[in-house]
């Protein structure tokens, strides 16, 4: 064995040794990153739960002493996706204690309805024409939750729930197989602009300030 062979073998051993040390460090870094990501995910899920529970309580336990009906309206509108014209009934509910919009209760009927007939039927709550029922819940004049219920008979168990914070979808409970994509944030902002209601602050920040009092 000559000197060149010995030097070459030593170089290979040195390179292998360095590679092994680098692999150990890389593996440790990967484990650290993986642990951090998992930790952040668990933290987000646990931090998310109180917010969702609070929004649910806000949506389901409305006080008749603090929330009043501002007005209700009938509108004929056009579906941007399909071009279909239909009638919509919107009811706006306002929390006069906290001075903010609380709900918008929307019925989207499958067709255009005659106004007088529709008002009479809706008032009596009898033989209500097929309609998609959508309830928008607001916190600090920002969208917090949307619950969509399809027309009766279409899909009894296909109610959909979407939760929002700072105009971002943070959680959804969707059981429908429909491919229709709705932009609830844009629709909510459209309603707010019509009412000329300004958003108070970041939804999560506002939640932290008022969750004790609401």
Delimit the domains of the chain by residue range.
Answer: 1-47, 62-210
Secondary structure string (H, E, C) spanning the chain: CCHHHHHHHHHHHHHHHHHHHHHHHHHHHHHHHHHHHHHHHHHHHHHHHHHHHHHHHHHHCCCCCCEEEEEEEEEEEECCCCCCEEEEEEEEEEECCCCEEEEEEEEEECCCCCHHHHHHHHHHCCCCCCEEEEEEEEECCEEEEEEEECCCCCCCCCCEEEEEECCEEEEEEECCCCCCCCCHHHHHHHHHHHHCCCCCCCHHHHHHHHCCCC
| pLDDT tens readout for residues 108-117 | 988 888 877 7
| Predicted confidence (pLDDT) per residue in 33-85, tens digit | 444 444 443 444 445 578 888 888 877 777 777 899 999 999 888 887 778 88
pTM: 0.69
């Amino acid at each position: 064995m000559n000197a060149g062979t010995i030097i070459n073998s030593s170089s290979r051993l040195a390179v292998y040794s360095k590679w092994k040390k680098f692999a150990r460090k890389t593996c440790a870094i990967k484990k650290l990153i993986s642990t951090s990501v998992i930790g952040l995910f668990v933290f987000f899920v646990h931090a998310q739960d109180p917010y969702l529970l609070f929004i649910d309580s806000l949506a389901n336990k409305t006080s008749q002493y603090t929330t009043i009906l501002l007005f209700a309206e009938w509108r004929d509108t056009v579906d941007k996706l399909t071009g279909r014209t239909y009638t919509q009934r919107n009811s706006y509910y306002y929390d006069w204690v906290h001075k903010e919009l609380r709900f918008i209760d929307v019925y989207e009927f499958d067709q255009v309805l005659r106004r007088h007939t529709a008002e009479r039927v809706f008032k009596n709550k009898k033989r209500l024409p097929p309609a998609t029922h959508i309830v928008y819940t607001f916190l600090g004049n920002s969208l917090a939750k949307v619950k969509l219920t399809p027309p009766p008979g279409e899909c009894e168990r296909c109610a959909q729930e979407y939760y929002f914070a700072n105009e971002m979808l943070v959680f959804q409970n969707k059981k429908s197989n429909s491919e229709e994509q709705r932009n609830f944030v844009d629709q909510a902002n459209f309603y707010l602009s019509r009412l000329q209601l300004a958003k108070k602050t970041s939804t999560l920040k506002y939640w932290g300030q008022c969750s004790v009092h609401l």
